[in-house]
Every structure is written in structure tokens, then in C-alpha cells.
């Protein structure tokens, strides 16, 4: 390609052509590995050139079950529009993002600028990558340092998506590629197809792998294996082997008894395989020095190796039993309950974790998915059991969960069910467009359907725009102040109810209000209000929080 461009350059040496050719060369050579695709602008980008994005609340769709509880949010509109505004309210405040984007199968599952992208579109993959790239770049900025993002995908775009996410989040921050069985292998989708896909995938990345600590599955520490008790029947013979003090108890000078598993019992382990290659262990010591002593000490010998196990179980020695048969080459060693486990058990509980598997079989759940949420939405719907599993990888129970491809609302359902099961206070933010009235008739309806079983508060916002060039008398700043209430509510997961949460943008009004206000309320004030010492004192005395409305809500727009 470079040689070809050099040849063209010889024929076109005018300044305009040279600039264009050099630009092409730079574009080709600047990236050595990764994805290269043609960027495609979206309608929302064009709209933002002349308009300021805002939210407007649909008051009639508000659901309040308990005024003291925080609010969850359903945002209707282009998710890129919603993400732009979430970057103002939730930058580095989201704990878990789960998304189920269009798989770009070429079968009318992906709409780009109001048009379905089919398999014949030559720019099908680049449009999808451009679409995803914008949204994932913002999602990274929304995540906390210990936050994670999980993305459902199938084989159509997993290769491209993995490379894209490696670039955005960093390959070292990839936590797992989950393999999800979504249907039984004996269930045929299409008899004309020679291949039967049964797997989908979930790519999981951390914002910063070093800061994220996974909530791994666990079980109570099992003492049943600590079921042996060794008795020394004589003083034995003490010798030095490889600079270690070892007491030898020959056959009939010791006995071993099996007891009920106990905190003071010993666990039996065969000294073999990789264990004998672990430096400084009883297994290695046995393999190197004790097995060959059967000609000297005889069979069924107990060796007490002093000065070993001090940091592990704290016993200060390790029992090792030699071979019982002349042709045997293996023995056993005995260990006590580790010190840290003993301390935990003495306090009442000790749990043993295990790694998170990257294979999950949800074929039965996918098969019964039409029953979930009480809404008729089968295409692309994900089981709440699967989403709960992913959300629960985060240890905290008070996290904020975002899904900006909300579809049927499964993520909101999963959050509330997980709260009910674990006593949590997680909150959700869902974003979806209203194509075919999906937000109104599917997502919102589902969140309403579950209220009896899982009551929670919900606000419904729609995306809108304010023209940057305003010919009317009302200024842009005044219009934005009218809608700033939605951003305050969204950022703080509250309702501006003019009782417990109030907005004041006038100094005199604030002074009058403070004297008559209830104790313990929140007052949000604009940055141009100057607080007097007297006002601060009244607020302190009445435990009133005076919170300045962040300028970052619309400061960049006002500067334009």
C-alpha cells in the first residue's frame, strides 16, 4: 500500500494532493495492532451541534412506594444522549454496568440512524464499532475505579468487541470471558443449518483490576477432613537430617486414630505429584530424605519434623508417615487447621472461597424467559438469574447499576430482586429508546408489574433539547435552570419535593426560608448565592445541608 501511495505521489505533487496522501500514510502507519474502522457520525451528534441535551420528567409515570427510599431512573431516548448527561451527574460514580447491545446479526437487530443494518451493508461492522466505541468510551468515564462492566454478545461481533474493549479498558483489566449456554444442544433452531450455536458470551472488564475485589462464591470452612489424632507412645529417637531435628517413632511406637472432624484434628495428605516439588514443605522433605530411610528405620514409621509448619498451622512441627510396604515409594503428612482459619472459627465463622467459573449454563432459564416480568418480549431478553449473578460479583450491596441498552428492563428487575434476597440497597439507572414504544409498553410496564413483589421508587425521564440559539425572550440559562432539577434528582437519586429537598436560586428567598425550614432537610443553591455567617449558623443549628448546584451541569454549554 505504501509503495502504491509513493507512486501516486510522484504523479500528483501539488500541495493539496500531498497533504491528502500524507494524511492517508499517517492513518495507515499510526496503528500497528488493533481495530481500524471508518468512523460514522450519528444523528444525536448532529443535534448536539446546535442544541443542549436535557431531561424532562414524565410526572404521570412516577412510582413512589416509600418517600424515604432513594429513586431509580428510567431514561427514555437515544442512549448516547442519556450517556452525555450521565457523564455530568455520574462521572466515576457507577459501580456496575451491564449491557446487552445489538448483536449485529444482519437480521434487523441493529438500527443505525433510524435504519436497520442488514447483512448486505458493506459498512455493517464499522457502523457497529463506531456506535459501540462512543458509548463504551463514556461508560469507562462513568465507572468508579473499582467498577466493572459486563457486555453480552454472540459470535457475530465478539472478536471485534474484545479488541475494542482491550483498547478502551486495557487488556490487563479484562477479568473474564464468560461462556453462557443459552439453549440445549438437542434443540434445533434451523434444520437447514449444519451448525447449532448454543453459546453466547459476556465480556467482563474492570476500570482498574487492582482496585476491584470480586465477590467470589464461598462455603463454610469444612473441618470434616481434620479427623485424625496422632499419639506418641514413646519418646522416640531424635536425629538430625539435612540440618533439621527429626524424631523417629518406629512401628508400634505411635498410633493414629480417626475422630470426628475437629478444630484440633489433623488432615491427612498424600505426599505426591506437585506437592513434592514445593520447596520447604513436608512433602519435599519426605521425598528427598525420608522415603529412602525405610531400609534404616523400617516400615510404618512416623517422623516428627521439628521447626516446620510454624507459620501455617502454628504447630511448630509436621508429622510424616513413611511407607507401609517394602515396594511403596509414597507416604503421608498431617497438617492442622491454618492459624487464620482457627482465628476466624473461634470468632464464629470462616468461609472458603472458590474461583468464579467462566462457564454458566442458563439454557433452562433462557427456555422459560417469556414468563419473566409479565411482558411479551422474547427476542434478546436475558434471564434475571444471569444478570443477578453478574451484579453480585461486586461485593457491596449499596451500588449503582447502569444498563444503557435496557430493552425489557431485566436489569432493573434483577437489581430489585437481588436487593430483596440480600437485604441490599442497590439502585439502577436504565436507558432505552422508544422504538416501537418499547420504553413505554415494555420496560416501564415491567417495572410496574414487579412493584407488588418488589416495591421501589422510580422516576421516568425523556431526553430533549434546548436550542443553543434562542430567539425568544427566555435566556438559555433560565431554560436550563428550569430543567436542572432533573439532573440534581438523577445524581442524588432523590426527588425535589420542596419539603425535604429544595432548590433555591435567590438570596433573599434563602434567608427567609432558612428561618422557617424543617430540621435535617437538603437545600440546593445556585453558585451565585453568597452565604452569610448567620445563614451558615442557622443551617448548622438546624442540621440543614446547603449544597451548591454543580457548575459542571451546564458550564461548558454556557461558555459557548
Which residue's entry shows cell 461462556? 179
**Cell numbers given for 409:** 428492563
**pLDDT of res. 349:** 85
* CA separation for the pair 540, 538 (Å, rounded): 5
Low-confidence ranges of the chain (pLDDT < 50): 110, 112-114, 116, 473
Distances (CA, A) of 129 to 84, 157, 175, 405: 18, 9, 21, 15
Alpha-helical runs (H) found in 397-441: 410-422, 438
Which among 356, 244, 250 is positioned nearest to 301, based on CA atoms?
Answer: 250
**pLDDT of res. 527:** 84
**pLDDT of res. 378:** 60
Could you tell me which residues come within 8 angstroms of residue 235 by beta carbon, excluding any fewer than 6 positions away?
247
pTM: 0.80
**Cell numbers given for 444:** 416501564
**pLDDT of res. 553:** 85
**pLDDT of res. 367:** 85
**pLDDT of res. 87:** 95
Mean pLDDT (the chain, rounded) = 88
Q: Are 322 and 297 a contacting pair, CB within 8 Å?
A: yes
For residue 270, what are the β-bridge partners? 332
**pLDDT of res. 113:** 45
Q: Are 58 and 443 a contacting pair, CB within 8 Å?
A: no
Q: Return the number of other C-beta atoms located less than 10 Å from residue 533's C-beta.
A: 7
pLDDT in tens, 495-507: 999 999 999 988 8
**pLDDT of res. 117:** 54
Q: Are 202 and 151 a contacting pair, CB within 8 Å?
A: yes
**pLDDT of res. 312:** 85
pLDDT in tens, 279-338: 888 999 988 999 888 889 999 999 999 998 778 899 999 999 998 888 888 889 999 999
The strand order across the sheet containing 501-504 reads: 501-504, 522-525, 545-548
Which among 182, 97, 184, 191 is positioned nearest to 137, based on CA atoms?
Answer: 97
The domain ranges of the chain are 1-30, 43-217+367-467, 220-352, 496-559
Which residue's entry shows cell 448486505? 120
**pLDDT of res. 280:** 85
Which numeric CATH code is attached to 43-217+367-467? 3.40.50.150
Amino acid at each position: 500500500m505504501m509503495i502504491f501511495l509513493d507512486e501516486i505521489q510522484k504523479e500528483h505533487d501539488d500541495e493539496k494532493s500531498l497533504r491528502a496522501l500524507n494524511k492517508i500514510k499517517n492513518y495507515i502507519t499510526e496503528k500497528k495492532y488493533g481495530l481500524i474502522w471508518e468512523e460514522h457520525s450519528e444523528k444525536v451528534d448532529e443535534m448536539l451541534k446546535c442544541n443542549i441535551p436535557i431531561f424532562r420528567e414524565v410526572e404521570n409515570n412516577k412510582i413512589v412506594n416509600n418517600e424515604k427510599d432513594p429513586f431509580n431512573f428510567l431514561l427514555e431516548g437515544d442512549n448516547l444522549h442519556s450517556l452525555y448527561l450521565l457523564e455530568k451527574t455520574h462521572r466515576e460514580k457507577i459501580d456496575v454496568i451491564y449491557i446487552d447491545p445489538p448483536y449485529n446479526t444482519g437480521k434487523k437487530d441493529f438500527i443505525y440512524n433510524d435504519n436497520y443494518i442488514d447483512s448486505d451493508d458493506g459498512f455493517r461492522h464499522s457502523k457497529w464499532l463506531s456506535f459501540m466505541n462512543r458509548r463504551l468510551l463514556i461508560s469507562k468515564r462513568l465507572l468508579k475505579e473499582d467498577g466493572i462492566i459486563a457486555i453480552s454478545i454472540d459470535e457475530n461481533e465478539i472478536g471485534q468487541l474484545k479488541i475494542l474493549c482491550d483498547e478502551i479498558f486495557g487488556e490487563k483489566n479484562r477479568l473474564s470471558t464468560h461462556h453462557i449456554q443459552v439453549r440445549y444442544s438437542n434443540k434445533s433452531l434451523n434444520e437447514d443449518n449444519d451448525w447449532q450455536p448454543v453459546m453466547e458470551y459476556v465480556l467482563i472488564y474492570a476500570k482498574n483490576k487492582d482496585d476491584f475485589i470480586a465477590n467470589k462464591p464461598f462455603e463454610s470452612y469444612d473441618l470434616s477432613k481434620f479427623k485424625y489424632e496422632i499419639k506418641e507412645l514413646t519418646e522416640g529417637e531424635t536425629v538430625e537430617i539435612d540440618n533439621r531435628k527429626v524424631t523417629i517413632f518406629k512401628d508400634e511406637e505411635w498410633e493414629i486414630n480417626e475422630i470426628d472432624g475437629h478444630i484440633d484434628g489433623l488432615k491427612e495428605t498424600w505426599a505426591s505429584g506437585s506437592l513434592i516439588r514445593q520447596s520447604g514443605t513436608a512433602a519435599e522433605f519426605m521425598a528427598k530424605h525420608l522415603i529412602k530411610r525405610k531400609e534404616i528405620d523400617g516400615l510404618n514409621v512416623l517422623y516428627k519434623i521439628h521447626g516446620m509448619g510454624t507459620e501455617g498451622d502454628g504447630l511448630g512441627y509436621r508429622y510424616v508417615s513413611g511407607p507401609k510396604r517394602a515396594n511403596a515409594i509414597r507416604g503421608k503428612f498431617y497438617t492442622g487447621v491454618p492459624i487464620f482459619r482457627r482465628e476466624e472459627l473461634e470468632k464464629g465463622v470462616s468461609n472458603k472461597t472458590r474461583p468464579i467459573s467462566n462457564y454458566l449454563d442458563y439454557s433452562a432459564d433462557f427456555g422459560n424467559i417469556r414468563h419473566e416480568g409479565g411482558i411479551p418480549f422474547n427476542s434478546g431478553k436475558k434471564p434475571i438469574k444471569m444478570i443477578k449473578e453478574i451484579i453480585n460479583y461486586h461485593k457491596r450491596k449499596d451500588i449503582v447499576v447502569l444498563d444503557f441498552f435496557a430493552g425489557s428492563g431485566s436489569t432493573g428487575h434483577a437489581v430489585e430482586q437481588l436487593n430483596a434476597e440480600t437485604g441490599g440497597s442497590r439502585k439502577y439507572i436504565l436507558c432505552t429508546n422508544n422504538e416501537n414504544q418499547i420504553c413505554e409498553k415494555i420496560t416501564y410496564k415491567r417495572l410496574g408489574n414487579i412493584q407488588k413483589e418488589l416495591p421501589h421508587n422510580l422516576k421516568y425521564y425523556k431526553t430533549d433539547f434546548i436550542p443553543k440559539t434562542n430567539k425568544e425572550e427566555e435566556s438559555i440559562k433560565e431554560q436550563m435552570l428550569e430543567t436542572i432539577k432533573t439532573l440534581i434528582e438523577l445524581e442524588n437519586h432523590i426527588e425535589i419535593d420542596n419539603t425535604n429537598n429544595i432548590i433555591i436560586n435567590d438570596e433573599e428567598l434563602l434567608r427567609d426560608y432558612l428561618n422557617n425550614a424543617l430540621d435535617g432537610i437538603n437545600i440546593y443553591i445556585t453558585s451565585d448565592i453568597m452565604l452569610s455567617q448567620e445563614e451558615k449558623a442557622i443551617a448548622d443549628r438546624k442540621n440543614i445541608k446547603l449544597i451548591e448546584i454543580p457548575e459542571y451541569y451546564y458550564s461548558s454549554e454556557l461558555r459557548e
